[in-house]
C-alpha cells in the first residue's frame, strides 16, 4: 500500500510541474539571432570584410546556416537552433578588388582569405562572435589526392593500398627533390575536460609541453609531426611538369593482383575493382631498411617494389624514442592532417612530447615542430562520423576547414576539384585545380584514382 501511495504522489507531482521545469520553454532551446563580425587581420589593416561567406555548422546535427557579410563586415543570422557550432569564413578576391580594398596591387590574380572558430556557443545569451581573416598561402605544389580510407578488409586490400598524390598547379616545371611530407599529430577528439593542456577548441596546447618556452606562438605558428617523409634527389632529378603529379604509395605494388607478403604468405584480393594498381607509383614508403637499422623487424605487409623509388625517412621519432608504428599508415576514419613543406635546416628543428606528458619515460613519444612559414600546402582530414569530429590541427591560413570520406575501407579518396582548363603554348591542355586553402570547398570525395581528376 505504501508503494502505491508513493507512486501516486510522484505522479501528482509530475502532473503539477510546469512545462518550464522540463525545458520545453527553456530560453536556451529557442531559436535565436546570431551575428558574426568579420575583419581582415592586422597584415591587411584590420579592415572589416564585406561579401565574405560565413557558414555555421552544428557540431552535433551537421545542420548549416550560410550568410554573406554586409558592407560593414557583419553576417546576421536569424532563427539559429542553439548549440555548439564551427564558424567558417572565406572570401575570394580578384586583384582589382584587392587593389581597391587595400590600396596596392597583389602579386597574384586571385587571393583567398580564411578564418575559423571551433566550438562557438550559440544561444539566447551568446548572440555574436568575431572572426579574423588571414590571407591563405597559395602554393604551386598542391596535395591533390589523399587515399586514406582504404578498401574492403577482406574483399579489397584493406590499408595496404593507401597513397598521396602531389600536383604541379603552376605553369612551370617544379622539382620534387627535397620536398617533405608531414603526417601531423594532435588530439583526435574534442574533449576539453582537461584544460591544463588543451586549447579552447580541444586541441593540444603545445605551449604546455615539457621544455617549451615560446608561449602561445607554439600553437599559432607551428604544427607538430608524428612522421616526416622526404623525396630524395640532388635537386633536379624528379621534375613535376605543369599539370602533372607524383604518386607516393604506402606500397608501390599492383594491389589488384595476387601478392606474397614478407613472411611468404599469399595475399589474394577477392574483388580487384575495389582497389588500385600502384605499381607505377613514383615513390613508395618502405620502412624495412629503417626498421632493421633500429633493431626492429620488417613488417609483413611492408612490401618493397624494387622498380619504385623509396622515400627517405626524415623523422620517425626522437632517436632512442622511436615511434612504435613499423609501417606508413594513414588513419582510416580520417583523423590525420598532412602538410608538404620545404626547409633547409630540418634536422635542427626541435621535437617535443605532447602536452599531456608530465615526465619523460622510455615510452614517451616526441613530435617534430614545423613552422607554418615553411608549409606549401596542408589538408585537415576529418572523421566521417559527425559525432566523432576532432579539433583542427592546421591554422586557417593553411586550411580553413576539413574534408572527409563517407566511411572507412570504402575505396574513397578525397581529391581536389578542377577549377578550369587552359591551353598551354605547345597546344596541350592543363587543368588548374582549386586552391582556396579551404578543404571543404577545394575537395570532393570519390573512388580513389591515382593521377585521375574529379569525376
Residues 121 and 158 both lie in one domain:
no
Does the pLDDT of residue 366 top 80, yes or no?
yes
Give the pLDDT confidence score for residue 256 in this predicted structure: 97
**3-state SS class at 350:** coil
Residues 32 and 168 both lie in one domain:
no
Residues 313 and 336 both lie in one domain:
yes
Range of the domain at 357: 141-447
Residues 331 and 228 both lie in one domain:
yes
89-136: per-residue pLDDT in tens? 999 888 899 999 999 888 777 888 999 888 899 999 999 999 999 887
372 phi, psi to nearest 5 deg: -55, -30
Give the pLDDT confidence score for residue 427 in this predicted structure: 80
377-399: per-residue pLDDT in tens? 999 999 999 889 899 999 988 99
* 360-375 mean pLDDT: 96
Q: pLDDT category, 27, cuts 50, 70, 90?
A: low
Task: With beta carbons less than 8 A apart as the criterion, state whether 418 and 442 touch.
Answer: no
Q: Nine-digit cell at 260? A: 606474397
Residue 40 resides in a domain: yes
Enter the DSSP assignment of 177. T
Does the pLDDT of residue 413 top 70, yes or no?
yes
Residue 3 resides in a domain: no
Give the pLDDT confidence score for residue 137 in this predicted structure: 66
243-263: per-residue pLDDT in tens? 999 999 999 999 999 999 999
Task: With beta carbons less than 8 A apart as the criterion, state whether 52 and 24 touch.
Answer: no
- The domain boundary residue, chosen from 135, 159, 182: 135
Q: Nine-digit cell at 378? A: 596542408
Q: How many CA atoms lie within 13 A of 192 on its CB side?
A: 12
- The domain boundary residue, chosen from 135, 155, 189: 135
Residues 110 and 170 both lie in one domain:
no
* 34-55 mean pLDDT: 94
Residue 233 resides in a domain: yes
Give the pLDDT confidence score for residue 138 in this predicted structure: 67
Give the pLDDT confidence score for residue 377 in this predicted structure: 96
Residues 291 and 155 both lie in one domain:
yes
Residue 105 resides in a domain: yes
Residue 331 resides in a domain: yes
Does the pLDDT of residue 277 top 80, yes or no?
yes
Top pLDDT among 119 and 350 is at 350
Give the pLDDT confidence score for residue 9 in this predicted structure: 42
Count: domains in the chain: 2
Give the pLDDT confidence score for residue 16 in this predicted structure: 40
- Report the distance separating Cα 213 and Cα 217, nearest Å: 10
Residue 422 resides in a domain: yes
Give the pLDDT confidence score for residue 385 in this predicted structure: 92
6-26: per-residue pLDDT in tens? 444 444 444 444 333 333 445
pTM of the model: 0.83
Does the pLDDT of residue 267 top 50, yes or no?
yes
Q: How far is CA 17 from CA 13, 14, 28, 215, 265, in A?
A: 6, 5, 19, 52, 69
Percent of the chain with pLDDT over 90: 78
Task: With beta carbons less than 8 A apart as the criterion, state whether 433 and 171 touch.
Answer: no
Report the mean per-residue pLDDT for the chain: 91
Residues 131 and 217 both lie in one domain:
no
* 165-190 mean pLDDT: 94
Dihedral of alpha carbons 415, 419, 425, 427, sign: positive
Residues 246 and 377 both lie in one domain:
yes
Give the pLDDT confidence score for residue 228 in this predicted structure: 98
Give the pLDDT confidence score for residue 23 in this predicted structure: 36
Give the pLDDT confidence score for residue 369 in this predicted structure: 98
Residue 358 resides in a domain: yes
Give the pLDDT confidence score for residue 24 in this predicted structure: 40
* 38-62 mean pLDDT: 92
First to last CA, the chain: 72
* 295-316 mean pLDDT: 97
Query: SS in 3 state form for 73-98?
Result: CEEEEEEECCEEEEEEEEEEEEHHHH
Residues 393 and 347 both lie in one domain:
yes
What stretch of H or E contains 133? Answer: strand 128-135
* 293-310 mean pLDDT: 97
Residues 119 and 152 both lie in one domain:
no
The CATH number assigned to the domain holding 44 equals: 2.60.40.10
- The domain boundary residue, chosen from 83, 111, 135: 135
199-243: per-residue pLDDT in tens? 988 899 999 999 999 999 999 999 999 999 999 999 999 999 999
Residues 147 and 111 both lie in one domain:
no
Residue 452 resides in a domain: no
Enter the DSSP assignment of 17. S
Q: pLDDT category, 171, cuts 50, 70, 90?
A: confident
Residues 166 and 215 both lie in one domain:
yes
Give the pLDDT confidence score for residue 134 in this predicted structure: 87
Amino acid at each position: 500500500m505504501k508503494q502505491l501511495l508513493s507512486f501516486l504522489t510522484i505522479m501528482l507531482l509530475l502532473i503539477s510541474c510546469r512545462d518550464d521545469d522540463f525545458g520545453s520553454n527553456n530560453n536556451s532551446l529557442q531559436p535565436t539571432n546570431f551575428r558574426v563580425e568579420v575583419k581582415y587581420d592586422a597584415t591587411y589593416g584590420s579592415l572589416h570584410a564585406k561579401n565574405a561567406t560565413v557558414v555555421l555548422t552544428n557540431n552535433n546535427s551537421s545542420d548549416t546556416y550560410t550568410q554573406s557579410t554586409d558592407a560593414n563586415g557583419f553576417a546576421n543570422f536569424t532563427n539559429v537552433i542553439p548549440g555548439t557550432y564551427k564558424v567558417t569564413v572565406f572570401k575570394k578576391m580578384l586583384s582589382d578588388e584587392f587593389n581597391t580594398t587595400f590600396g596596392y596591387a597583389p602579386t597574384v590574380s586571385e587571393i583567398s582569405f580564411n578564418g575559423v572558430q571551433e566550438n562557438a556557443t550559440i544561444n539566447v545569451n551568446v548572440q555574436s562572435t568575431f572572426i579574423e581573416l588571414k590571407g591563405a598561402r597559395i602554393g604551386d605544389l598542391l596535395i591533390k589526392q589523399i587515399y586514406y580510407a582504404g578498401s574492403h578488409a577482406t574483399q579489397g586490400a584493406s590499408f595496404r593500398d593507401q597513397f598521396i598524390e602531389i600536383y604541379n598547379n603552376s605553369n612551370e616545371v617544379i622539382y620534387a627533390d627535397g620536398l617533405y611530407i608531414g603526417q601531423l599529430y594532435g588530439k583526435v577528439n574534442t574533449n576539453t575536460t582537461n584544460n591544463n593542456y588543451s586549447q579552447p577548441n580541444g586541441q593540444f596546447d603545445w605551449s604546455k609541453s615539457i621544455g617549451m618556452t615560446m608561449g602561445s606562438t607554439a600553437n599559432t605558428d607551428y604544427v607538430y609531426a608524428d612522421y616526416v617523409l622526404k623525396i630524395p634527389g640532388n635537386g633536379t632529378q624528379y621534375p613535376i611538369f605543369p599539370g602533372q603529379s607524383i604518386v607516393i604509395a604506402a606500397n608501390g605494388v599492383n594491389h589488384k593482383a595476387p601478392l606474397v607478403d614478407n613472411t611468404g604468405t599469399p595475399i589474394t584480393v577477392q574483388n580487384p575493382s575495389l582497389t588500385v594498381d600502384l605499381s607505377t607509383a613514383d615513390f613508395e614508403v618502405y620502412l624495412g631498411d629503417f626498421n632493421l637499422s633500429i633493431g626492429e623487424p620488417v613488417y609483413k605487409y611492408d612490401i618493397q617494389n624494387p622498380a619504385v623509388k623509396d622515400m627517405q625517412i626524415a623523422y620517425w621519432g626522437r632517436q632512442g624514442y622511436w615511434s612504435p608504428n613499423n609501417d606508413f599508415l594513414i588513419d582510416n576514419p580520417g583523423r590525420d592532417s598532412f602538410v608538404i613543406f620545404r626547409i633547409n635546416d630540418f634536422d635542427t628543428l626541435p621535437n617535443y612530447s605532447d602536452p599531456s606528458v608530465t615526465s619523460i619515460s622510455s615510452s614517451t613519444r616526441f613530435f617534430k615542430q614545423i613552422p607554418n612559414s615553411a608549409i606549401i600546402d596542408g589538408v585537415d582530414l576529418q572523421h566521417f562520423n559527425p559525432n566523432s569530429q576532432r579539433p583542427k590541427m592546421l591554422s586557417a591560413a593553411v586550411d580553413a576547414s576539413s574534408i572527409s570520406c563517407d566511411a572507412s575501407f570504402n575505396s574513397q579518396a578525397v581529391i581536389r576539384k578542377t577549377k578550369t582548363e587552359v591551353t598551354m603554348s605547345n597546344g596541350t591542355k592543363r587543368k588548374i585545380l582549386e586552391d582556396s586553402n579551404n578543404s571543404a570547398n577545394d575537395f570532393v570525395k570519390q573512388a580513389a584514382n591515382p593521377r585521375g581528376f574529379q569525376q
